[in-house]
């Protein structure tokens, strides 16, 4: 509940507090794009490539997509070729920076290694220059379309396996010079910061280049509410060798204020990472078992319910909806989950972020899943991947320069689908 209050809102009618939402720096404007959740895969996409979707991957250091036969290729000595090789995908053979150009043997063509995080497969493709597009924004509306050059890797169409139908590649959002946020920052001359507001349904919003961010309330009539970015809870972001992903300094996990005992401090081994390509938070088996048992116990202790129903894949703990307290506008009244961060700050997940309704709302399941071993990813297997479902309807501001993340849960009368996507001038 504390996080609910962390976003202070200013309605359009009362002007002054809105100035707290930081204005765009410099002459150039941040870019906005819609985020759609694909119902079949639960992956999030944005229409960045000729209106065709790219999958958003918080752990991806590259942008990649299929290419036309005729495309430019960067040379091996180009600095972006070195940047594209800063992070090497798991299980991918090292083949050097590139290969000799068949038409000009004095020229070395840069190749990169695009990685499909869902299929866990990589490939080799030319490092090329492409055009991406989004809209300039004042934080309230899209203002006008902007097309911008980006360095991206080509990939064979076979690398699109397991991505949403229609998706033509992946937009990496990690801390790399050739990921999308850094490239927008350079080409648009805006801050290297971005805001993600992942939707549970409808269109969510991403803003690259800083704030502000305004969302409409779901009241009738709707009014404009500014998200005060200075009031987010800020936590440092950690790094791990071989990875450009965003790791959080998680000290403990608690249910109903009682810390879950995790034998052997497993969170420190592998770390806790944010991942948009995990539909639900994934826990390594040594973290999963104690956490699932503790949640079940906490729920039964608090509400004296014992009526579990058969598991509904991919979940294990499912309860008959009739026996659960709620639902309310803040979801099922199950124990709050505190992700305890360094410095005593908590990311608190309530029922809306922890329980998943299944079987036409006749049951609800604890929305955390056991990680499949061997899945790895850049930087090896983490202890926890905080997945999409748990990040939805939160405002997340990534600031790779300051190495920090600002987060807040949106109040119940606002959601990530409430950005006003009507073009304004
Ligand atoms: C810009 O915004 C308009 C209005 O929402 C939308 O129709 C259009 O597709 C957007 N353009 C790009 C390039 O995203
Ligand atoms: C964070 O969560 C822990 C465990 O539930 C709790 O003991 C602590 O008081 C919380 N801290 C804040 C600032 O809410
Ligand atoms: C909990 O429920 C069981 C049966 O459902 C009942 O026998 C028991 O008395 C209940 N305990 C409390 C503390 O309500
Ligand atoms: C879901 O539940 C509603 C209300 O209980 C019912 O009207 C509807 O037919 C159910 N849908 C399916 C697919 O079972
Ligand atoms: C959305 O933005 C358009 C363009 O600025 C504006 O005319 C409209 O009133 C806005 N919608 C709401 C509900 O505020």
Domains of the chain by start residue, with CATH: 38-196 (2.40.70.10), 233-409 (2.40.70.10)
What SS3 class is residue 292? helix
- Which among 323, 316, 182, 338 has a CA at the least distance from the CA of 252? 338
Q: What b-and-e string marks burial along 339-369, b requiring 16 or more CB atoms within 10 Å of the CB?
A: bbbeeebbbbbbbbbbbbebeeeebbbbbbb
What is the percentage of the chain residues whose pLDDT exceeds 90?
74
Range picked from 305-319, 375-389, 403-417 for highest mean pLDDT: 403-417
Q: Give the separation between CA 270 and CA 367, rounded to whole angstroms.
A: 21
Tell me which DSSP letter residue 61 carries.
S
Selection from 297, 367, 360, 301 nearest residue 332 by Cα: 367
- Of the listed ranges 92-96, 108-112, 192-196, 375-379, the least confidently predicted one is 375-379
Q: How far is the CA of 305 from the centre of ligand 3 (A)?
A: 8
User: Looking at per-residue confidence, does 303 or 190 come out higher?
Assistant: 190
Please provide the average confidence, as pLDDT, over all residues in the chain.
90
Rg (CA), the chain: 22
224-227 and 394-399 beta bridge pairing? unpaired
Over 80: is that where the pLDDT of 304 sits? no
Pocket test for ligand 5, best of 141, 224, 418, 419 (most atoms within 8 A of CB): 141
Q: 3-state class of 334 per DSSP? A: coil
- Helix H or strand E encompassing 142: strand 142-154
Ligand positioned closest to the Cα atom of 358: 4
Residue 2 confidence (pLDDT): 32
Q: Is 44 within 8 Å of 56 (Cβ atoms)?
A: yes
Range in 5-19, 23-37, 98-112 with the lowest mean pLDDT: 5-19
Q: What percent of the chain has pLDDT over 70?
A: 93
Helices (H), 236-356: 285-303, 351-354
Mean per-residue pLDDT for 367-396?
89
Q: Which of 142, 223, 422 should be mutated for ligand 5, with most atoms under 8 A from CB?
A: 422
What is this structure's pTM?
0.91
For ligand 2, is residue 254 a contact (CB within 6 Å)?
yes
- For residue 361, the ligand closest to its alpha carbon is 4
Residue with the nearest Cα to atom 14 of ligand 2? 346
- Mean pLDDT computed over 98-123: 90
At residue 27, the pLDDT reads: 45
Closest ligand 1 atom to residue 32 Cα is 14
pLDDT bracket for residue 6 (50, 70, 90): very low
Q: What is the mean pLDDT of residues 243-255?
A: 95
Q: Is 340 in the pocket of ligand 2 (CB under 6 A)?
A: yes
Pocket probe mutation, ligand 2, options 233, 253, 295, 338, max atoms within 8 Å of Cβ: 338
Is 25's pLDDT higher than 50? no
Token pair of 414 as six digits: 């606002």
Tokens of 197: 């507001």
pLDDT of the residue at 222: 86
Which pLDDT score, from 0 to 100, does residue 123 have? 96
The token pair at 77 is 């000595």
User: Is any ligand 1 atom within 6 A of the Cβ of residue 142?
Assistant: yes
Per-residue confidence at 20, pLDDT binned at 50, 70, 90?
Answer: very low
For the chain, give the longest Cα–Cα distance: 75
The span from the first CA to the last CA of the chain, in angstroms, equals: 38
The token pair that represents 292 in the structure block: 């699932």
Look up residue 22 and give its DSSP letter.
Answer: P
Confirm if 28 and 188 have CB atoms less than 8 A apart: yes
- Cβ-contact 171, 161 below 8 angstroms: no
Closest-CA residue, ligand 5 atom 13, reads 222
Ligand nearest to the CA of 52: 1
Residue 407 and residue 238: Cα distance in Å, rounded?
15
pLDDT at residue 375 in the model: 60
Report CA(338)–ligand 2 centroid distance (Å). Answer: 7
Q: Are strands 142-154 and 63-65 parallel, antiparallel or unpaired?
A: parallel
**For residue 378, pLDDT beyond 90:** no
CA–CA dist 282, 59 (Å, integer): 14
Determine if ligand 2 sits within 6 Å of the CB of residue 298.
no
If we measure between CA atoms, which residue out of 190, 240, 181 comes closest to residue 48? 181
Distances 27 to 24, 147, 195, 423, 425 between C-alpha atoms, Å: 8, 17, 20, 20, 17
| pLDDT at site 21 | 36
**Rounded mean pLDDT, 302-329:** 88
How far is residue 245 from each of residues 182, 221, 274, 359, 385, measured CA to CA in Å? 14, 40, 7, 34, 11
Residue 24 has pLDDT above 90, yes or no: no
């Amino acid at each position: 509940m504390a996080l609910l209050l962390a976003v202070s809102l200013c309605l359009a009618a009362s002007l002054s507090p809105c100035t707290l939402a930081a204005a765009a720096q410099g002459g150039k404007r941040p870019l906005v794009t819609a985020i759609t959740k694909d119902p079949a895969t639960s992956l999030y996409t944005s229409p960045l490539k000729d209106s065709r979707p790219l999958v958003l991957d918080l752990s991806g250091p590259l942008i990649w997509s299929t290419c036309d036969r005729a495309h430019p290729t960067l040379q091996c000595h180009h600095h972006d070729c070195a940047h594209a090789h800063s992070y090497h995908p798991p299980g991918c053979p090292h083949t050097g920076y590139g290969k000799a150009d068949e038409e000009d043997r004095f020229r070395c063509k840069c190749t990169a290694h695009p990685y499909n995080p869902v299929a866990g497969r990589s490939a080799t493709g030319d490092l090329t220059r492409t055009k991406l597009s989004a809209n300039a924004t004042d934080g309230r509306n899209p203002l006008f379309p902007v097309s911008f050059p980006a360095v991206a890797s080509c990939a064979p169409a076979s690398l699109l396996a397991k991505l949403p139908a229609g998706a033509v590649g992946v937009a990496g959002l990690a801390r790399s010079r050739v990921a999308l946020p850094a490239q927008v920052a350079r080409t648009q001359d805006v801050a290297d910061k971005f805001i993600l507001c992942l939707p549970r349904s409808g269109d969510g919003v991403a803003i690259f280049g800083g704030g502000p961010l305004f969302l409409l309330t779901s009241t009738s009539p709707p009014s404009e509410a500014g998200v005060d970015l200075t009031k987010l809870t800020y936590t440092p972001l950690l790094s791990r060798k071989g990875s450009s992903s965003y790791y959080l300094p998680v000290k403990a996990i608690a249910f109903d204020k009682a810390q879950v005992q995790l034998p052997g401090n497993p969170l420190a081994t592998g770390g806790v990472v944010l991942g948009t390509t995990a539909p639900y938070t994934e826990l390594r088996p040594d973290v999963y078992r104690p956490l699932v048992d503790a949640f079940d116990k906490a729920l039964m202790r608090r509400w004296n319910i014992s009526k579990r129903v058969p598991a509904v894949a991919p979940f294990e703990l499912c309860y008959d909806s009739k026996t659960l307290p709620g639902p309310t506008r803040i979801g099922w009244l199950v124990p709050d989950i505190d992700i305890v961060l360094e410095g005593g700050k908590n990311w608190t997940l309530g029922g809306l972020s922890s329980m998943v309704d299944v079987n036409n709302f006749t049951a609800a399941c604890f929305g955390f899943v056991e990680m499949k071993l061997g899945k790895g990813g850049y930087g090896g297997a983490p202890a926890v991947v905080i997945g999409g479902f748990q990040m939805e309807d939160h405002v997340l501001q990534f600031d790779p320069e300051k190495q920090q993340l600002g987060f807040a849960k949106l109040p119940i009368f606002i959601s990530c689908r409430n950005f006003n996507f009507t073009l304004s001038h």
